[in-house]
Amino acid sequence: MERERLAPYLGAVACLILVALLSAPYFVIESQPPLLGDYYSAGPLGIVGALFLATLGVVIFLSSVRGRADPELVAGIMLVVGVTIFGLTALWAVAIDSTLLFSFPADYSWIEYHPWASLAVSGVVAGAAAIYAAAVY
């Protein structure tokens, strides 16, 4: 019962962290708009879809906690959404060209680790969804 109660909160917090993490370069890096556009659209699909799904994930996770939706339905939806977020983030992180990453000014050298940190957090989202689904079913 404890996992059923805590997993949605963990998933919602992980979704919020992922949204903040994925949005950080847009708000922090001021002088390189063309590079940022290429960075966010790297790979076949880019990262915007994962950002959108993570934003929705907060609402979906918390809808079962608040009693607005059936927990089994939310667990199933979030399992699919969590795995999709992880897949999109993995595809994006692997597809970013190293030339693009090293094109940013030295002040923003942390951008080299940003895709992998985003992938790790998206793994937490998928893991929380899996834990929630296992606890509910």
119 contact partners, CB below 8 Å, separation of at least 6? 86, 89, 90, 93
Amino acid at 26: Y
pLDDT at residue 98, as a whole number: 93
Compute the residue count for the chain.
Answer: 137
pLDDT at residue 1, as a whole number: 64
Q: Classify residue 127 as exposed, middle or buried by CB count within 10 Å of its CB (0-12, 13-18, 19+).
A: middle
Give Cα separations from 39 to 69, 72, 86, 127 (angstroms): 37, 37, 18, 26
Torsion angles phi and psi, residue 103, rounded to 5: -85, -15
Structure tokens belonging to residue 91 = 């595809």
Which residues in the chain show pLDDT less than 50?
A: none
pLDDT at residue 122, as a whole number: 98
**SS3 for 125?**
helix
Amino acid at 109: S
pLDDT at residue 95, as a whole number: 96
CA-wise closest residue to 131 among 23, 12, 43, 8: 8
Q: What one-character DSSP code corresponds to residue 108?
A: G
CB 106 within 8 A of CB 132: no
